[in-house]
Amino acid sequence: MAVEGVMVSYNYSEDGELANILTVAASGIKFSKRWVLTHGSILSPLKQVRAIQNAKGKSILNEEFYANLPEIHVTCEKANSKSQSLYDSVERLSRDRSMDSDADFEHSSYQIRVLTGRICHVWQCPILDRCVDDILYSWTIGHRDGDVEKQTQLGKSLLSVFVLVDLESDDRGLKTLRPLSELFDLVRPPPGRGTAVEVHSTPFGCEVFLNAVTRGSVCGVVGKRPSLLLTDAATALGSEGGPVYTEGPTKELIGTVVCSVSWWRGEWVGLTLMAPLVSVLSAKLRVAPPRIQKSLTTGPHRDLLDQIDSTTVLVRCGVAWGAGLYLGGGYVVTCAHVVRNYGSYKVSIYCQGVKETAIVRYKTADDKAFDLALLYTNPQNWKQFTPAVFAVDSAEKGESVLAAGYPYFNENNLEDLKPTVTTGHINNASPSMIQTSCCVQSGFSGGPIFRISKRKTHVEVLGIIVSNAKTETGACYPYINMAVPTRAFIHLLQDYIQDKDGTKLKIIENDKEMIQSQWRLMPYRSKI
C-alpha cells in the first residue's frame, strides 16, 4: 500500500463574500489511493470546531456536523504513468516549443495533481488529549499573533484531533474503521531517543514547498505507550498532518506532525511535536498496540544515551528549574541563575527516580561570567550514576554535538524522567564561550554539551549551557545558544572537591573585562 505526503486545503470565506475567500491548508498522508489522513488544525476557522471542543473526546458522528463541511482539495506530486498516451506526447511537444529554456519541465517539482474529496470522519485521540492535560497545559499552541488565549485554547482542543478524507465517495455512511485499519497495518512502532527521522510536509500551504523534507532526531518520548515524540527536525506552520518516517533507504511510516509552532514561558519551543500513529490508531480501533521491541524504543545510540541519562540531572529551586551535570562524590554543577533563590527555597535534584535535597557550595555573582553553581548532596544515594567524562581537546567549529536538558516533565511521573537530547554543531568557539546550533530552551540551563568520541563508544562534556539568544522585542532563538567551556573551570571544581579550599572557586568568576564583555550579550541573552 503506497503512502505519500500531500497538501490538504479548502476554500473558506468568513463573511460569505466570494471576494474574501481564503485558502486554509495543512499537510497530510495519502494512502491506499483513496484515503487521506490529516490533522485537526485544518478545521480551526470553521464554525463546526465548536462541536469538537464540546465533544470532549467523543467521536463526531452526527450528520449535521458533516453536511456543511467544505470540499477538500488534495495536492500531490504527479505520478509517472506507465503507459504514455498520444495526448502526453503532444503536451510535451507543445511545452518544449513554447519554453526557450534548458529547464527540465518534466521534473516532478513542476508536475502536480489536485484531487477532490470529502471529510468523512473526525475524532479525538484520548491518549494525546491526556498528554495535553498532563504536560502541555501551560503551553501556547500556534503563533502568538492576535488573541493568544483564545488561540491557545483552540490549538489545544485540536492538537489531539484527526481528520479522515475520502477521495472517491460522497457517502459519509461508510465504515471508516476499514481504511484506518489498513493504515494501522502499515505503520511501525515509534523509535526511541536518538533515532534519525525524516518529516515530509508542505509549510504555509504553499505548493512550492510541496513535500519538503526536513531531518532531525527523536529528542524525547512522552508517556509509556508512548503518546508524543519530540523531534528537532525543523518544521513550520502548515506542516501539521505531515508524515514522519524513519530515515534511511527503507523509510517506515512512524508518525505524523501535530504541532510545528508552540510557545512556553514566553519562549518559542523550537521542537516539533509528533504523534506516533501506532498509539493513535490502536486507541481509535480499540486494539492492543503491537509489542514494541526494546531495540526500537532505545534507539541506535543506546549506550551513549545511557551515559547521558546517568550524568544529567534535573535541578529544581522553587518554581525555577534547569539541568545539572554529576561530577561524582555527590557534587553537581549547574547554572547560578537556576538556584538564584536558594536562600528562600530548597534545592532538589532528580534523576532516574531518585530525589535528593542539595546544598549550594558555590554560586557566581549575578550577571557575572561564568554563571555557574556547585551543589552537594549525599553521595551514598547516587551510586548508580556515573561521573561525567570531560573532553581534553577544545571544541572545534563545525563539529557535531549533543545538548541535554529538561524542558518539560510530569511531576506525577518522575520515575520515567529522562533528559531531552537535541543534536546540532558548534557554531563558534573561544576559550571562554561555545556557541551551538542545538535546540535549547527553558530547562536546559546547566545542562551539558556533549561530544561523541571518534569511536562512538562514549560521550565527553565540552561545556555547560547557560543561555540562548533573545532580542529586546522578545523574539527567542532556541537554535542559537551559548555554553561555558568546561576547560575554563573544571580544574578549579576538581581541585575544590579534593581539598575543599573554597578560595579557589572565586577564580571562576574571572574578572577579565574581555570575558565579562563577551558574556554580557545584552539584550541578546536569555537566561534559561
pLDDT tens digit sequence for 372-392: 999 999 998 888 889 999 999
Q: How many CB atoms lie within 10 A of CB 490?
A: 19
* Dist. CA 352–CA 314, nearest whole Å: 10
Q: In this structure, which topology does domain 3-78+109-294 adopt according to CATH?
A: Thrombin, subunit H (2.40.10)
Judge contact between 269 and 408, C-beta under 8 A. Answer: no
pTM (two decimals): 0.84
pLDDT score of 457: 85
Judge contact between 438 and 449, C-beta under 8 A. Answer: yes
- Residues 6 or more apart whose CB falls under 8 angstroms from that of 65 comprise 48, 51, 122
Q: Within 13 Å of residue 457, how many CA atoms lie on the same side as its CB? A: 2
CA angle 89, 91, 97 (to 5 degrees): 100
* Dist. CA 518–CA 346, nearest whole Å: 32
Task: Say what percent of the chain tops pLDDT 90.
Answer: 49
Handedness of CA 254, 259, 265, 267 (dihedral sign): positive
Helix, strand or coil, per DSSP, at residue 220: strand
Judge contact between 349 and 330, C-beta under 8 A. Answer: no
Q: How many CB atoms lie within 10 A of CB 302?
A: 15
pLDDT score of 295: 44
**Burial track 44-77 (b if 16+ CB lie within 10 A, e otherwise):** bebebbeebeebeeeebeeeebbeebeebbbbbe
pLDDT score of 296: 47
pLDDT score of 515: 86
Rg of the chain on CA atoms, in Å = 26
Mean pLDDT of the chain: 84
| Look-up of cell digits 507543445 | 94
Write 214-217 long-range contacts (CB < 8 A, 24+). 215/247, 216/272, 216/423, 217/193, 217/421, 217/422, 217/423
User: Per-domain residue ranges for the chain?
Assistant: 3-78+109-294, 301-528
pLDDT score of 73: 95
Tens of pLDDT, residue by residue over 199-229, are 999 999 888 899 999 999 999 888 777 889 9
Q: How many CB atoms lie within 10 A of CB 150?
A: 9
pLDDT score of 297: 47
Judge contact between 276 and 448, C-beta under 8 A. Answer: no
* Dist. CA 78–CA 86, nearest whole Å: 18
Q: How many residues does the chain have?
A: 528
* Dist. CA 225–CA 289, nearest whole Å: 9
pLDDT score of 110: 65
The residues of the chain scoring below 70 in pLDDT are 1, 14-20, 56-61, 79-110, 143-152, 169-176, 291-300, 412, 472-475, 521-528
Judge contact between 280 and 125, C-beta under 8 A. Answer: yes
* Dist. CA 467–CA 442, nearest whole Å: 9
| Look-up of cell digits 506516533 | 276
For 301-528, CATH number out of 2.40.10.120, 3.10.450.40, 3.30.160.20, 2.40.160.100 equals 2.40.10.120
Judge contact between 208 and 231, C-beta under 8 A. Answer: no
301-528 shares the fold of 3-78+109-294: yes
